[in-house]
């Protein structure tokens, strides 16, 4: 089986695929047409080539890409709403026009063309802050209220292990509740279409709906697997830090987040490039969690995934991201 570094992200009624040199976004419009947008990747900095440091750089880069692609796909939802407003106008009901506020005009004068990037970077900041707070800091706070004997090495180890169990439990609960939402279910279905399409390519079969349909929705290079490795590495690393006050513990964990991300990325990168038994063992828990984050797609979703994949794998990308 051949390997590819192409990976993706599910969007609103679409998919983002990122390859070594370019990216492609395929979105199905409300009228059924598939829109394909090809974009070039910006040049990588020197930090993105240094082992362990590249994990943090590439992770932030991926999130930024993902938010931009998500906002692009959301435009077609807005387009549908505008069409509905147009129908209202035809019936003689003119929607109220929204004028820019003084604050909006001031921000536009200050930032100019860069104003449109502010929501993107703010969204990235909020996403990272939410993830750190929910999966790193909250378990530490909750575990801190339990009566472990922190004056003994056994008590400290028990405390850190329990914190790790809480972290995994919160992660699982978050995925489980998210999978119950109808809109999220459709995103999970597109996520499954992404994996099935990549599997089809890696098994050297023609990218057709019929061929893609027969492959699994789970893939070892999934972001869900990466997040599980992050949680696992954090449990192991934090277990050796001893016990301090709650606020010192939180500060230590915040400082060590880049270290955890760097180590996790190297393990994730290695496991995705080899078929060894150890790599399979490392990938197994993440594959199990993908039962929550991927669902079987319909044929229309598979068609979108194939379009996005071919947009990356075939031809060149000349537009700037």
Q: When comparing pLDDT for 313 and 13, which is higher?
A: 13
Compute the C-alpha angle 59/169/245, nearest 5°. 80
What pLDDT is stored for residue 150 in this prediction?
Answer: 67
Please tell me the distance from the alpha carbon of residue 17 to that of residue 308, in angstroms, as a whole number: 6
Which of 208, 174, 187, 215 minimizes the C-alpha distance to 294?
187
Tokens standing for 22? 């370019």
Please tell me the distance from the alpha carbon of residue 313 to that of residue 184, in angstroms, as a whole number: 28
> Could you read off the pLDDT of 86-105 as tens digits, one per residue?
554 455 554 445 555 544 45
Tokens standing for 267? 């393990």
Cβ(107)–Cβ(122) below 8 Å: no
Please tell me the distance from the alpha carbon of residue 315 to that of residue 253, in angstroms, as a whole number: 44
What pLDDT is stored for residue 80 in this prediction?
Answer: 54
Residue 275 has pLDDT above 90, yes or no: no
Confidence of residue 110 (pLDDT cuts 50, 70, 90): very low
Confidence of residue 117 (pLDDT cuts 50, 70, 90): low
SS3 call for 22? strand
Confidence of residue 280 (pLDDT cuts 50, 70, 90): confident
Residue 218 has pLDDT above 90, yes or no: yes
Which of 108, 117, 13, 28 minimizes the C-alpha distance to 65?
117
Residue 317 backbone phi and psi in degrees, to 5: -115, 120
Q: pTM value?
A: 0.78
SS3 call for 10? strand
Confidence of residue 316 (pLDDT cuts 50, 70, 90): very low
Q: When comparing pLDDT for 111 and 14, which is higher?
A: 14
What pLDDT is stored for residue 124 in this prediction?
Answer: 60
Average pLDDT of the segment spanning 71-86 = 67
Mean pLDDT of the chain: 80
Separation in Å, CA 149 to CA 139, 154, 158, 160, 240: 18, 8, 9, 12, 16
Burial class (CB in 10 A: 0-12, 13-18, 19+), 234: buried
- Buried residues in 15-48 as b, exposed as e (16+ CB within 10 A): bbbbbeebbbbbbbeeeeebbebbbebeeeeeee
In this structure, of 28-32, 59-63, 163-167, 176-180, the range with the lowest mean pLDDT score is 59-63
């Amino acid at each position: 089986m051949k390997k590819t570094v192409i990976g993706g992200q599910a969007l609103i009624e679409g998919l983002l695929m990122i390859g070594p040199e370019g990216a492609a976004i395929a979105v199905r419009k409300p009228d059924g047409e598939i829109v394909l947008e090809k974009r070039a990747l910006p040049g990588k900095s020197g930090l993105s080539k240094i082992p362990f440091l590249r994990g943090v750089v590439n992770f932030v880069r991926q999130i930024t890409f993902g938010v931009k692609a998500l906002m692009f796909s959301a435009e077609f939802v807005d387009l549908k709403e505008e069409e509905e407003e147009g129908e209202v106008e035809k019936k003689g009901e003119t929607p109220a026009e929204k004028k820019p506020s003084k604050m909006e005009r001031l921000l536009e004068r200050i930032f100019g063309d860069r104003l449109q990037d502010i929501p993107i970077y703010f969204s990235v900041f909020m996403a990272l802050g939410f993830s750190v707070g929910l999966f790193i800091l909250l378990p530490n706070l909750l575990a801190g209220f339990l009566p472990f004997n922190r004056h003994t090495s056994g008590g400290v180890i028990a405390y850190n292990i329990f914190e790790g169990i809480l972290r995994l439990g919160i992660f699982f609960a978050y995925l489980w509740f998210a999978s119950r939402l109808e809109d999220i279910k459709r995103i999970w279905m597109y996520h499954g279409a992404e994996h099935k399409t990549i599997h089809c390519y890696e098994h050297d079969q023609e990218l057709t709906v019929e061929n893609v349909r027969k492959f699994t929705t789970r893939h070892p290079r999934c972001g869900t697997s990466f997040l599980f490795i992050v949680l696992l590495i954090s449990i192991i690393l934090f277990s050796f830090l001893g016990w301090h006050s709650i606020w010192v513990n939180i500060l230590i964990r915040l400082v060590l987040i880049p270290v955890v991300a760097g180590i996790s990325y190297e393990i994730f990168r290695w496991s995705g490039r080899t078929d060894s038994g150890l790599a399979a063992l490392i990938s197994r828990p993440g594959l199990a969690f993908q039962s929550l984050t991927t669902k079987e797609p319909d044929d229309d979703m598979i068609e979108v995934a194939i379009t996005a994949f071919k947009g990356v794998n075939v031809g060149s990308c000349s537009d700037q991201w």
